[in-house]
A and B are shown apart, each in its own frame.
Chain A
Amino acid sequence: MTHKMTSGSHVLSVEMLARVEGEGGMHVHVQDGEVRDVHLRIFEPPRFFEAFLRGRAYTEPPDITARICGICPVAYQMSACLAIEDACGVAVPDEIRLLRRLLYCGEWIESHALHIFMLHAPDLLGYDGAIEMARDHRELVESALRIKRAGNDLMTAVGGRAVHPVNVRVGGFYRLPTHVELARLRPQLVAAREEAIAAVPIVSGFEFPDFDQPYLYLSLSSEHGYPMESGTLVTTAGLTAPVSAFGEHVVEEHVAHSNALHSAFDGQPYVVGPLARYTLNYASLAPLAREAAEASGLGPTCRNPFRSIIVRTVELIHALDEAIRLIDGWRGAPMAAVPVPARAGEGHGATEAPRGLLYHRYRIDDAGTILDVQITPPTSQNQSAIEGDLRTFVQANLHLSHDELTRQCEVAIRTYDPCISCATHFLDLDVEHL
């Protein structure tokens, strides 16, 4: 369909979003040149897991919540561990924190490599997907697979498996990786870092729409460097708060068109994820990553979601560099885990999943039985902002054909890398025009 959208009643509807983790749908209603209604429909599994965890033992959430997402299991494990350890009044030793950070690097490497090269690059190069792109840009895809494999192998060495790590427990790990196991990863990580640096001119050479948005950004900030496995809450409004204050600022509301809860920070839409992390933590980037950011033309802030591919590439370089630094500095640990005896209480944990801040809260009794759980994933926090973006974007681009506008809306949504769920089956694109 080539007709434009400036008169009459139109619906842009994508029942299933291709190349979005899980099953999502988009619905935009345009009436006489005005965007009337925007819904991003999300099927969200954490609600199921919150109910499923009540009555279970306090040691179980790292394994159970890891299964919420095939892309960011480490994030679920790390936030769960922090929250439960907080409830029990235990802080793990620094060696364990460092090993958690190393494992997290693996997840960022895997996730960002996939998103940059397999999802976002095809959109910017005008391909339907990675397969079509691979026919013309074979080396780019081969490079992406090598970088992703470096992340996989790091996850396997530290987490026990490349998907759904099994080595994480409350208090630490079941088993420490040996020096030899970690040292073996180094050449591969160094090569992957070179390949990621080589990708900077490619990703920064794409054409991006002018779409700077006045977002409120929320991320962690950490004395231990660019935030991953721990930190405190910071916003672009100047707020600094402990993770335990998350619930005082973030209110989740149920909306009719989605299983997911919509979040607001002090009453307004906000954004978590690479753009927020980058803007709030630019100074903490590794020197190589900051050099890459400068070479790409990014300033110390980024407010255009279409340019998130550059920010992810900078973060990919950071994660690879950080993994190498952690391996080089690894001196072992006296024990794989510290005891975390149960006690009645409530605990909070937040870490930076590849796609943004992931918050967990647990309330347990004296015997360690879980009484109450809250899991707030990045995508539900971003949902209001994504819908706001779509509203602005569609309104400004009504001159485009229905098909082109629908395609560009999908591209806009994918820039957030929404982790809607770990789906099991079809993502079937169905464009409807009324």
Chain B
Amino acid sequence: MTHDPSRVPGPRRTLVVGLGSMDRGDDAAGPRVASLVHDAVAALGTTNVQVVEHEDPTSLVDLMAGFDLVIIADAVRSGAAAGTVSLREVGRGEAALPARTDPGPSGTHGLGLASALELARALDRLPERVVVVGIEAVDFEHGRTLSDPVAAGVAAAVEAILDTLRG
């Protein structure tokens, strides 16, 4: 779902993407973060930020076009405690996401977030700055809602994104 952006000219064009499926337990972390960031941004009157929920990482290659800063919120599994929020800089000139920690849906035949970002890099389409905000997740069962620790992580991720936007 794309939240209607009411954009005015700003110093940089920013895109916030929440990746994941609302029906797969903690995988909803990304879209939930996007929804909350959208509301916060609207309340602050910030208008050069577009906020999008998406389930298809491959689309990022096109979606990121024309933005200076892209922030991607997604559920990750790296072995950390559930709800732990991590920020990684993966934009131009930065290192790739480690393959083992490829977060997010492989809903496009396994082209997950790390692969989609690297595809954009290989095609010289990676924006100047890309930040992946990972929310450590545990439960991906169909039909479940966010687990409690991950719901707490969502709130922390929203704060981290708002900090990044202010910076």
Which listed residue (B54, B75, B106, B118) contacts A163, Cβ 8 A?
A: B54
Q: Which of B21-29, B34-42, B83-91, B148-156 contacts A (4 or more CB under 8 A)?
A: B21-29
CB of A348 within 8 A of chain B?
Answer: no
CB of B20 within 8 A of chain A?
Answer: yes
Of A20, A149, A164, A422, most B-chain CB atoms within 10 Å: A422
Of A129, A131, A135, A164, most B-chain CB atoms within 10 Å: A131
CB of B108 within 8 A of chain A?
Answer: yes
CB of B131 within 8 A of chain A?
Answer: no
CB of A142 within 8 A of chain B?
Answer: yes
From residue A112, how far is it (CB to closest CB) to chain B in Å?
Answer: 11
CB of B100 within 8 A of chain A?
Answer: yes
CB of A134 within 8 A of chain B?
Answer: yes
- Pairwise interchain contact A425-B110, C-beta atoms closer than 8 A: no
CB of A130 within 8 A of chain B?
Answer: yes
A-B contact count (CB 8 A): 112
Nearest B-chain residue to A166, judged by Cβ: B1
Measured CA separation A39–B91 after assembly (Å): 41
Contacts of A162 in B (CB 8 A): 56, 59
Q: What's the tally of chain A residues with a CB closer than 8 Å to chain B?
A: 41
Of B61, B106, B137, most A-chain CB atoms within 10 Å: B106
Which listed residue (A20, A21, A71, A131) contacts B119, Cβ 8 A?
A: A131
Contacts of A428 in B (CB 8 A): 100
From residue A15, how far is it (CB to closest CB) to chain B in Å?
Answer: 14
- Pairwise interchain contact A70-B55, C-beta atoms closer than 8 A: yes
Measured CA separation A426–B142 after assembly (Å): 16
The contact string, 1 if C-beta is below 8 Å from chain A, for chain B 88-116, is: 00000000000010111111111110010
The contact string, 1 if C-beta is below 8 Å from chain B, for chain A 382-395, is: 00000000000000
CB of A148 within 8 A of chain B?
Answer: yes
Measured CA separation A119–B106 after assembly (Å): 13
- Pairwise interchain contact A164-B109, C-beta atoms closer than 8 A: no
CB of B140 within 8 A of chain A?
Answer: yes
From residue A174, how far is it (CB to closest CB) to chain B in Å?
Answer: 15
Measured CA separation A204–B40 after assembly (Å): 52
Nearest B-chain residue to A142, judged by Cβ: B123
- Pairwise interchain contact B54-A21, C-beta atoms closer than 8 A: no
Which listed residue (A119, A145, A424) contacts B109, Cβ 8 A?
A: A119
- Pairwise interchain contact B55-A48, C-beta atoms closer than 8 A: no
- Pairwise interchain contact A424-B122, C-beta atoms closer than 8 A: no
Q: Which of A162-192 contact B (CB under 8 A)?
A: 162-164
- Pairwise interchain contact A114-B110, C-beta atoms closer than 8 A: no
The contact string, 1 if C-beta is below 8 Å from chain B, for chain A 9-28, is: 00000000011111000000
Which listed residue (B61, B75, B104, B109) contacts A417, Cβ 8 A?
A: B109
- Pairwise interchain contact B61-A145, C-beta atoms closer than 8 A: yes
Tell me whether A425 and B54 are in contact in the complex, defined as CB-CB below 8 angstroms, given that A18-B110, A21-B110, A130-B111 are known contacts: no
CB of A338 within 8 A of chain B?
Answer: no
Q: Which of B6-52 contact A (CB under 8 A)?
A: 20-21, 23-25, 27
Nearest A-chain residue to B2, judged by Cβ: A161
- Pairwise interchain contact A427-B110, C-beta atoms closer than 8 A: yes
CB of A67 within 8 A of chain B?
Answer: yes
- Pairwise interchain contact B122-A134, C-beta atoms closer than 8 A: yes
Tell me whether A138 and B111 are in contact in the complex, defined as CB-CB below 8 angstroms, given that A48-B142, A145-B61, A424-B75 are known contacts: no
Contacts of B106 in A (CB 8 A): 21-22, 423-427
CB of B58 within 8 A of chain A?
Answer: yes
Nearest B-chain residue to A418, judged by Cβ: B109
- Pairwise interchain contact B24-A161, C-beta atoms closer than 8 A: no
Measured CA separation A149–B63 after assembly (Å): 11
- Pairwise interchain contact A152-B115, C-beta atoms closer than 8 A: no
CB of B77 within 8 A of chain A?
Answer: yes
- Pairwise interchain contact B55-A163, C-beta atoms closer than 8 A: yes
From residue B132, how far is it (CB to closest CB) to chain A in Å?
Answer: 15
Nearest A-chain residue to B96, judged by Cβ: A131
Pull 9 A–B residue pairs with CB atoms less than 8 Å apart, ordered by A: A19-B110, A70-B105, A71-B107, A114-B58, A114-B109, A131-B119, A134-B119, A417-B109, A422-B24
Q: Taking beta carbons and an 8 Å cutoff, which residues of B are in contact with A? A: 1, 20-21, 23-25, 27, 54-56, 58-59, 61-62, 75, 77, 100, 102-112, 115, 118-119, 122-123, 137, 140, 142-143
Nearest first, the 6 closest Cβ-Cβ pairs linking A and B are A70-B107, A424-B27, A19-B110, A134-B122, A424-B140, A131-B118
Q: Taking beta carbons and an 8 Å cutoff, which residues of A are in contact with B? A: 18-22, 45, 48-49, 52, 67, 69-71, 114-115, 118-119, 129-131, 134-135, 138, 141-142, 145, 148-149, 152, 161-164, 417, 422-428
